[in-house]
Structure 1
Amino acid sequence: MIKIRIWLPLVLLLLLFIIERKGYLKKPESLEIIPTVAQHPVSEINANISVEINDLLMIVYALERYKRDHWSYPKSSHGGTKWDGIFSIYGESREDWVPEIVPKYINQLPRDPRMLADGTKQYIYVSNGISYKLIAHNVDNCAHIKNIYPILVDPKRDCFAYGFWTKNAALW
């Protein structure tokens, strides 16, 4: 009886994995995507308050569609421990700084509107596959964003960055 109790959950987990990989558990495309960011219901955020918020929201929705299909978020560099951006001194610098979402989930990744090559003033992304954090880093308009949506201000960096993240990534 004890052997069955030990092996049954493993067999069920393996069966679930196989069923998911075959595509039987995928949700229909028509289901609405509800981002699971930790700090605020995304549907209540006015994307028109800044170009940066609009850009980041487009990526958030793409991340949720990716997660729906793959059951995880795309990992950032070094196994999900580094911050990637078009230019980044904190991880890898590359055009596909959020991997695997272009072109299926978003046509192209937006670039910070300042169009700088400074690796500290960019949109950056980090994810271990389970959680993620997506921020506009070292921004000029943080006081404005903080006044309208203080909950978007990065709790680890105060008004040095703002963006979106899942609950477990808040203090990354």
Structure 2
Amino acid sequence: MSAYLASARRLMALATVVRGRAYHPQRYMIETLAGAIEDAAIALQTCPVDEPGQIPQPAADAVREATDLLTQHDFMIPAAILGYATSPITGTVPSMQPLTAVSLQLARQDIDLRARRLAIVEHGHLNSRDDEVLGAALAGLMVLHRKHERLAAAVAADNERPCNRGKAPAYRAH
């Protein structure tokens, strides 16, 4: 399967996951987001490729629209998830940066989240031919990135406590 078809398949699966997992008080916003993701998938399948490794402009515009929606509204979905869908083309998989937690418990949570993300990516679940496995992988990555964002806020607050200021991180980045 070409990188473009793989990305289109991931985007279509992501649109389905968004419809089932996104939250927004105005339901039409969820449909708008899912529609932008589907538009990107359709554009990947129908627009000519100008340069290998590049996303065709109509698809890039739709991905940008979806990214803007995810960053401007809280759908309970991190914008990083779009990077997993387009990574077959771009060759860049979103990362989950290590946090510099001084608290051992928070550092362990960080390591656990990053290990679970790595398991999904490295075990090839995003390349599965089974639509349910692909959808579950995308949903799992959404949850892990969301938890990591919340953990980052908790680490920042914990590191600023007077008793923790100036302490070295509990674990060094691996």
TM-score bracket for the superposition, by shorter chain length:
under 0.3
- Normalising to structure 2: TM-score of the pair? 0.26
Indicate the structure with greater strand content. Answer: 1
| More relative contact order, 1 or 2 (CA 8 Å, 6+ apart) | 2
Indicate the structure with greater helix content. Answer: 2
